[in-house]
Amino acid sequence: MLVRQEALSSKMSIKDLPSSSPLPNANLVLVFGSVRRFSDGKLPTQLKERYPAAQIVGCTTSGEIGPHGVSDDSLQITAIAWDNTMQRVTYARANNMQTSAETAINLAKQLKSDSLRTILVFSDGLHINGSELLQGFQSVLGDIPIVGGMAGDNAEFSRTLQLLNDSIEEGLVVAIGLYGDKLITASGALGGWKPYGPPRKITRSEKNVVYEMDGKPALPLYRMYIGEQNAKALPGSGLRFPFAVIEEGKREVEKVRTLLAIDPEENSLTFAGNVEEGETVRLCQTTHDRLVEGAGGAARLVTANLDTSQPGLALCVSCVGRKLVMAEQIADEIQAVQQTLGSQTALTGFYSYGEFCPRPNTTDNVLHNQTMTIGYLSEAL
Q: Tell me the C-alpha distance between 303 and 4, whole Å.
A: 22
pLDDT of residue 76: 97
Report how far apart, in Å, the C-alpha atoms of 338 and of each of 2, 105, 213, 297 are. Answer: 18, 35, 40, 12
- How far apart CA 232 and CA 351 sit, in angstroms, is 24
Range 49-71 burial, b when 16+ CB lie within 10 A, else e: ebbeebbbbbbbbbbbbbeebbb
Q: Residue 305's pLDDT is what?
A: 75
Q: What is the pLDDT along the chain (381 residues), one digit of tens a residue?
A: 999 999 999 999 988 999 899 999 999 999 999 999 999 999 999 999 999 999 999 999 999 999 889 999 999 999 999 999 999 999 999 867 889 999 999 999 999 999 999 999 999 999 889 999 999 999 999 999 999 999 999 988 899 999 999 999 999 999 999 999 999 999 999 988 888 888 999 999 998 899 999 999 999 999 998 999 999 999 888 888 899 888 765 555 667 888 889 999 999 999 878 899 999 999 888 889 999 999 999 999 999 978 778 899 999 999 998 998 898 999 999 999 999 999 999 999 999 999 999 988 888 999 998 899 999 999 998
Does the pTM surpass 0.95? The reply is no
What is the predicted pLDDT for the residue at 216?
A: 96
Residue 59: predicted pLDDT: 98
DSSP 240: G
What pLDDT is attached to residue 205? 97
The contacts of residue 107 (CB under 8 Å, 6+ apart) are 90, 91, 92, 137, 173, 175
Please tell me the distance from the alpha carbon of residue 1 to that of residue 314, in angstroms, as a whole number: 13
> What is the structure's pLDDT at 193?
86
What SS3 state is found at 352?
strand
| DSSP letters spanning 280-341 | EEEEEE--HHHHHHHHHHHHHHHHTT---SS-EEEEEEEEHHHHHHHGGGTHHHHHHHHHHH
**Gap between the Cα atoms of 280 and 243, Å rounded:** 10
pLDDT of residue 250: 57
From CA 225, how far away is CA 315, in angstroms rounded? 35
Q: What is the pLDDT of residue 321?
A: 86
- Predicted pLDDT of residue 194: 85
